[in-house]
């Protein structure tokens, strides 16, 4: 299959890339076309690298290089998410051969739509990290002193936890989620950095926390020490913007590049919050 594809386009020595650009926050976006020389084993990152080196559009116009985010180039850092041919995914694992198989005429790149654009394909995902703070996504150990090993855990427990711990905060699940809507604020005249960041966090905390954070809450609630803060995590999931916002559309699980069982986590969180609410009700 791969071999065939390779033969198919070796005759074709260039291909076109259509990119939705935007110079800065709040500015209008525009399409731009680039022509890239075909090479073996290219992915979307190497395409963007060629475009940066050329800095020229299809019509020979000099332009600033397209801005984008990446680091690991092997789909573990989560930096390079974008919409490629209409589907949200990692640019580093988007192979040009496959993309041209699906659509030989061009490759289309757009920034994610659920996060504010900083410039071109680069977006601001700080809300995702805030989500992790919201659900207290950590194990609350006493200290970093030498206290011996952690509690023993069965292989079965590890095998449930491990897949959840692979979440790389890429944002694909939010991009695909119909309930997750963009929150974009701008810094006001005279507003200090701290005040602006506090205002943003407040807005983020009212918005939907997102599938990734729900799943992380379940990860820490299943850790033998992490469990100790299970109630607080469930409280967070029951607050405004919590699990009740999820409409169970299941789009999230389909786009997750790490195949994280998000809907399983969401179902678990649903049950756990219900029990938690009942328990609280009885306790009162």
Partner 1 sequence: MGKKRVMVVGGGLAGLAAAMKLAELDIDVDLMSLTPVKRSHSVCAQGGINACNEQTRQLGDSEWKHFDDTVYGGDFLQHQPPVKEMADWAPRVIDLMDRLGVTFNRTHEGFLDRRRFGGTLYKRTAFAGATTGQQLLYALDEQVRRWEAAGRIKKYEFWDFLGPILDDQGECRGCVAQDLVSMEIRSFPADAVVVATGGCGLIYGRSTMSMVCTGSAVSRCFQAGAKYGNPEFVQVHPTAIPGADKLRLMSESARGEGGRVWVPRTPHDSRAPGDIPENERYYFLEERYPEYGNLVPRDIATREIFDICVNEGLSVETDKQCVYLDLTHIPVAELNRKLGGILEIYEKFQGVDPRLNPMKIFPAVHYTMGGLWADYQRTAEGGLEPGSPRNQVTNIPNLYAIGECDYQYHGGNRLGANSLLSCIFTGLFTAPGLQNLLESQSGAAAEMDASLFESERKRHQDQHDQLLRRDRGGENPYLIHQELGDVMTKAATVVRRNEQIQEAYQTVSDLEARAAKCSLSDTGNWTNQNVVFTKALQDMFPIAKAILKGALQRDECRGAHYKPEFAMPSLESTDAAGRQAEAEAWCDRFEANNEKWLKSTVVRWDGSEPDIQYEDVDTSLIEPRPRLYGLVGAEVIMEVWKARRAKQKAEKQADPNAAATVGS
Which residues sit at the interface with ligand FES, rule CB under 6 A?
70-73, 75, 77-80, 90-92
Residues 115-154 interacting with partner 1 (rule: CB under 8 A): 118-119, 122, 125, 129, 132-133, 136-141, 143-144, 146-150, 152-154
Distance CA 114, CA 112 (A): 6
Distance CA 198, CA 5 (A): 51
Interface segment toward ligand SF4; rule CB under 6 A; list 9-17, 91-99, 140-148, 248-256 = 248-256
Distance CA 244, CA 239 (A): 9
Angle in degrees, 0-180, between the axes of helices 262-283 and 211-221, rounded to the nearest 10? 60
- CA torsion sign for 49, 52, 54, 59 is positive
Count the residues of the shown chain that bind partner 1, applying the rule CB under 8 A.
69
What string marks each residue from 150 to 179 as x (binds ligand SF4 by CB under 6 A) or -?
-----------------xxxxxxx--xxxx
- The entry of ligand FES, partner 1, ligand SF4, none that residue 256 binds, CB within 5 to 8 Å by partner kind: ligand SF4
Is residue 20 within 8 A of residue 29, CB to CB? The reply is yes
Tell me: does residue 53 bind partner 1 (CB under 8 A): yes
Task: State which residue, 75 or 106, has the beta carbon closest to ligand FES.
Answer: 75
Closest separation between CB of residue 251 and partner 1, Å?
22
Q: How far is CA 36 from CA 14, 150, 199, in A?
A: 5, 52, 43
Is residue 114 within 8 A of residue 174, CB to CB? The reply is yes
Binding partner 1 (rule: CB under 8 A), the pick from 58, 161, 239, 245 is 161
Token pair listed for 16: 């076109």
- The entry of ligand SF4, ligand FES, partner 1, none that residue 42 binds, CB within 5 to 8 Å by partner kind: partner 1
């Amino acid at each position: 299959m791969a071999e065939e594809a390779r033969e198919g386009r070796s005759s074709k020595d260039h291909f076109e890339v259509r990119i939705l650009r935007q110079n800065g926050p709040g500015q209008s976006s525009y399409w731009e076309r680039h022509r890239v020389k075909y090479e073996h084993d290219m992915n979307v990152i190497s395409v963007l690298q060629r475009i940066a080196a050329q800095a020229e559009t299809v019509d020979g116009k000099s332009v600033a290089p397209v801005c984008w985010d990446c680091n690991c180039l092997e789909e573990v850092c989560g930096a390079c998410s974008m919409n490629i041919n209409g589907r949200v995914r990692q640019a580093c694992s988007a192979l040009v051969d496959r993309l041209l198989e699906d659509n030989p005429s061009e490759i289309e790149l757009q920034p994610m739509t659920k996060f504010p654009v900083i410039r071109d394909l680069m977006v601001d995902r700080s809300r995702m990290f805030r989500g992790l703070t919201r659900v207290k996504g950590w194990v609350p150990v006493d200290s970093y002193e030498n206290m011996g090993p952690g509690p023993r855990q069965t292989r079965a427990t590890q095998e449930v936890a491990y897949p959840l711990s692979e979440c790389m905060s890429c944002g694909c699940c939010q991009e695909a989620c119909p309930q997750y809507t963009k929150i974009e604020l701008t810094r006001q005249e005279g507003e200090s950095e701290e005040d602006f960041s506090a205002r943003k966090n407040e807005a983020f905390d009212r918005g939907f926390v997102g599938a990734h954070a729900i799943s992380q809450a379940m990860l820490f609630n299943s850790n033998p020490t992490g469990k100790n803060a299970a109630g607080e995590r469930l409280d967070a999931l029951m607050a405004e913007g919590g699990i009740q916002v999820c409409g169970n559309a299941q789009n999230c699980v389909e786009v997750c590049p790490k195949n994280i069982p998000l809907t399983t986590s969401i179902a678990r969180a649903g049950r756990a919050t219900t029990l938690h609410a009942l328990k609280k009700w009885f306790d009162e």
